[in-house]
Chain A
Amino acid sequence: MAEYFRDIGRGVVTTFHSMWITWRHLFTPSVTLQYPTEKMDLPERARARLFNKIEDCIGCGQCVRACPTDCIHIETEKRAKDEPEIFASDGTPIKLRTYVFDIDMTLCCYCSLCTFPCPTHCLVMTKEYEYAVYDKKDHIYHFAVDKPHYAKPAKEHQAPKA
């Protein structure tokens, strides 16, 4: 009998206790971020979409070899001797003309391994993370601007497969 009344008493007390907890939470500020209008500050070294500054790219292909998912595709050709000498912004002479520099962001695993070997620091990971597209093909980013000057079989210059 005593247990019966004790149970009722505990039921009442715990009900009011839980109500007190929810009442407190009613006035604590919300943690919600109204996403499209407010955005969270990304961490300093956040990794998102890759970007290649093609003017600095020397076409060395070290990023291609570093990539574990083979998402970077480069095609280059040798610049002729009589063409004017050009340099990357850190002074490295650009000996190769990169006429294809494609990154397939659907394959990218955001490991950032490709950015470390880049000798001219032209391949970087940006903080741009909102790049949803309607067509899967739009996730292949073409960075190259030059056209090949010499008709050559493209296979010869393709990056070695891992």
Chain B
Amino acid sequence: MESIRQLLEMIPDYRRLPEIIRSLLPMLVSSIILLALVAVLAMFLIWLERKISAHMQDRLGPMYVGGWHGWAQSIADALKLLLKEDIIPAAADPLLFKMAPAIVFVGAFSAFVVLPFGAASIVSDLNIGILYLIAVASLGVVGIIMAGWASNNKYALYGGMRGAAQIVSYEIPAAIAIMTVIIMVGSLSMQDIVNAQKGGIHRWFIFRNPFTFLGFFVYFTCSLAEVNRTPFDIPEAESELVAGYHTEYSGMRFAFFFLAEYANMFVVAGIATTLFLGGWTQVLPAQWVPRQLVPGPVIFTLKALLLVFVQMWLRWSLPRLRVDQLMYVCWKVMLPVALVLVLGVGFLSVYWKG
């Protein structure tokens, strides 16, 4: 946001504007940029998911819209969804029903505020950045359970309940896995975490010590569950619950759920990138390449997209877990492993300054 403020001050007579406008305008501009980024990114990810799933199943996926490999398919789909009739079931709770997609989207969108795209490209480098991310990520649960309840549909309610149970459970091992990194860095700020990993691939936390190496996998697995991706997609299990919590949604509201899902995928991939894969820092060690050659936002986006690709890859590789298996994995596998990792990192940081 600082760089945007500096850019805005280059406008003539900007300093003569009232103080309130001068403080709000950078926020407005940066949020509009983020909104455009989120929308484009989500549409790109939807297209990517369809292509990857198609090729993994020896199909082709969308091929016509836009010419080259159906690149405009998501745009066409988004337009179609926006033009569709917006149906609110007669028995639904209209207020909650309308609020739910907005809340889910806000949860996904506000997480972008602290994602460090580059050294200067971060909307706000909060000193509690990662804590803020954990808090905002659980905002989506409220929207999901609200959607499930307000739809007045048994499948939607089941989906909402399952989603709430799953996301709340998986937040605990995910947060503890994040703790491993926080212990190493000693700060919750996203930029501090990235700066601690500067200097090439061997400095990334995933390769620093065995505990953070495993911590990456624990966090990645739990983040899959947090964004309701297969193999943890039981809240929207299409073979069991029609579509889960967004069964009754249509048109633009459904589009918001869809957008939020893919935005969330990028957010958790971005968090994993920041924490374990060195964020916007370059891959090559600093001894060989002293200066950063590729711009930070490009590196960050590529790393995050790589993780998003792995998410999609896993989706088409693994079958869905049963509810009890899901809880088993969370409480009996992920949580003990994460606790052991935190203990190990604690020992290391006390007795061996890694």
- For A4, give the chain B residue with the smallest CB separation: B332
B59:A22 contact, CB within 8 angstroms: no
Question: Contacting chain B: which of A28-36, A46-54, A91-99, A133-141?
Answer: A28-36
Q: Which of B56, B63, B314, B332 contacts A25 (CB 8 A)?
A: B56
> Is B55 a contact of A30 with CB atoms below 8 Å?
yes
* A131 at interface, CB cutoff 8 A: no
Most chain B C-beta atoms within 10 Å of own C-beta, residue among A22, A25, A31: A22
State the CA gap A143–B265 with chains docked (Å). Answer: 62
Chain A positions 1-56 with a Cβ under 8 Å from a chain B Cβ = 4, 8, 11, 15, 18-19, 21-23, 25-26, 28-32, 34
CB distance from B137 to the nearest CB of A (A): 24
Report B44-60 CB contacts with A as 1/0, cut-off 8 Å. Answer: 00000000101111111
Q: Is A32's CB under 8 angstroms from B317's CB?
A: no
Inter-subunit contact A26/B52 (CB<8 Å): yes
User: Is B333 close to A, CB under 8 A?
Assistant: yes
A18 lies within 8 A of B317 (CB):
yes
A21–B317 touching, CB < 8 Å: yes
The answer to whether B58 and A22 touch across the interface, beta carbons within 8 angstroms, is: no
A30 to B71, CA, bound (A): 18
- A143–B72 Cα distance when bound, in Å, is 46
A-contacting residues, B316-354, CB 8 Å? 316-318, 329, 332-333
Q: Which of B60, B317, B318 contacts A30 (CB under 8 A)? A: B60
CA distance in complex: A92, B63 (Å): 54
In the complex, residue of chain A having the shortest beta-carbon distance to the beta carbon of B337: A8
Residues of A near B318 (CB, < 8 A) are: 15, 18
Q: B329's closest neighbor in chain A, by CB?
A: A11
The minimal Cβ–Cβ distance linking B66 to chain A, given in whole angstroms, is 15
A26 to B54, CA, bound (A): 9
Q: Do the beta carbons of B58 and A19 come within 8 Å of each other?
A: no
Question: Chain A residue with minimal CB distance to B314?
Answer: A19
- List the B side residues contacting A11 at CB < 8 Å: 329, 333
- Partner of B56 from the list A26, A29, A32, A34 (CB cut-off 8 Å) is A26
Is there contact, CB below 8 Å, between A30 and B313? Answer: no
Check A32–B52 contact: CB distance below 8 A.
Answer: no
Residues of B within 8 A of A28 (CB): 58
Once A28-B58, A30-B55, A30-B58 are accepted as A-B contacts, the answer to whether A19 and B333 lie under 8 Å apart by CB is no
Contact of A34 among B55, B63, B314, B333 (CB under 8 A): B63
- CB pair B55–A26 under 8 Å, yes or no, is yes
**Distance (whole angstroms) from the CB of A23 to the closest CB of chain B:** 7
**Known contacts A15-B317, A18-B318; can you find 18 more A-B pairs with CB under 8 A?**
A4-B332, A15-B314, A19-B313, A19-B314, A21-B317, A22-B313, A22-B316, A22-B317, A25-B57, A26-B52, A26-B56, A29-B58, A30-B54, A30-B55, A30-B59, A30-B60, A34-B60, A34-B63
Chain B interface (Cβ < 8 Å from any Cβ of A):
52, 54-60, 63, 313-314, 316-318, 329, 332-333
Top 5 A-B pairs ranked by shortest CB distance? A18-B317, A32-B60, A22-B317, A22-B56, A30-B60
Q: 6 A-B contacts, Cβ less than 8 Å apart?
A: A11-B329, A15-B317, A19-B314, A22-B313, A28-B58, A31-B58
